[in-house]
Amino acid sequence: MVAPDRRLSALVFVVGALAFGVLAWLLVPWQWVPGGHYTHVTPADVFTPAQIARAERYSSLQRHLGWAGLAVSLVVALALGLTPLGRALVRRIPGPWWVRVPLAAFVVLGIGTMATVWFGARIQRNELSFGLSRQAWPGWWHDQIVGLAVTWAGTSIALLVFVALARRLPRSWPLAVAIAAVALSFAGSFIYPVVVEPLFNSFTPMRSGTLRDQIMALAAREQVRISDVLVADASRRTTTLNAYVSGFGDSRRVVVYDNLIKDLPRDEALVVIAHELGHARHRDVLLGTTLGAAGGVAGVGLLGLLLGWPDLLRRSRVASPADPVVVPLVLALVAVGTLLVSPLENTISRAIEARADRAALEATHDVDAFDAVQRRLATSALADPIPPPWSQIWFGTHPTALQRIGIAAALRPSLVSSSRR
């Protein structure tokens, strides 16, 4: 076996980790509000006892199902990657290496999906019973299959690049794969809105009218150039109200759920859209992609170190990173790494979301509408007012509704003062 150069792998890891750290330190808005402290808000200040009880019951059910599904998927990935089982399955796949790699990825992902599909179905059943989903089971199964196909396609591309470079550059592949990871990160983020999102929703330009004019005025106020706002037909699937920004450059789009337009008062809808325009103003998709690319470089360096560890390769019965039988091991290591870095990723995500909230408040100066929409969004999604701390740290991508209302309360005096000038 020709092992990757350990010093090169270590260098790639250090460069990626340092780049991530510097970029995060300089570009992530770590303080949620000026001075660093938002106003403390209790659930009783915002929700009725019945709303709190219903949200806690639903969230607890979904949270435990999600944790159990994650645990099972991780056990399956480790069983396939760290034992001879994965190697035995991949060795049965015929054909050249460039056929075996994507087929091996399909086998591993397919087994993982089958092992966890029960948990996903139970989550969907709870969403139906609590009135959060409108999607019939055929549509749900369609989304699961399409989602698996998208994951398989992206995973296969990454693995094909990895194995090809490991075969071509057995000692220096960590550097080449790191460069490829950066390119794939930016390419994926750029094309995702125009290739993947239409597989799940239909998008139409927002009709001309008062709301569109107000959105364009908001965009001008936030110094965001947009040619149009797209409306997604999300109401056929969910009762949850949402909007989002995806892509960057020419692929950037601001998307609004159709039920948000129909079900929210105009001032509350504008607050939500102003939040998304805040993401666009601060180029948060590009920021996330850049941080993800730097993190990917560090991950490739760490992967090079691990795949040069003889004991690990012996346990998995993998002779070389250039052999397609390495696929289950790589996917297992990626699964573990993804779980371990989730607290850091989501801490950054919550800080970025808090900045977008501030941008919405500064653009609209409507604290009352902001508070009202946070209440409405939380109750419509049955969000837990106070999730378990470690769960929020590990999995929470956004501040809680109470924290967001606390941000608005902390900013209210300065917003009122500036609006009077």
What residue type is 64 in one-letter code? H
Residue 248 CB-density burial (10 A; 0-12 exposed, 13-18 middle, 19+ buried): buried
Which tokens is 12 given? 């790639």
Which tokens is 217 given? 């005025």
Alpha-carbon span 352 to 347, nearest angstrom: 9
CB atoms within 10 A of CB 225: 9
What does the pLDDT read at residue 417? 67
Alpha-carbon span 5 to 379, nearest angstrom: 54
Which residues are CB-neighbours of 311 under 8 A, at least 6 positions away? none
Q: Is 354 left (phi over 0), alpha (psi -120 to 50) or beta?
A: alpha
What does the pLDDT read at residue 207? 87
What does the pLDDT read at residue 119? 98
CB atoms within 10 A of CB 67: 14
Alpha-carbon span 98 to 91, nearest angstrom: 14
What does the pLDDT read at residue 401? 96
Tokens 């969230």 label which residue?
Answer: 59
Which tokens is 127 given? 């969403």
DSSP state for residue 257 in the 8-state scheme: E
Q: Which residues of the chain have pLDDT under 50?
A: none
Edge-first strand order for the sheet with 229-232 is 203-205, 229-232, 253-257, 243-246
Residue 204 CB-density burial (10 A; 0-12 exposed, 13-18 middle, 19+ buried): exposed
What does the pLDDT read at residue 4? 81
Alpha-carbon span 165 to 185, nearest angstrom: 17
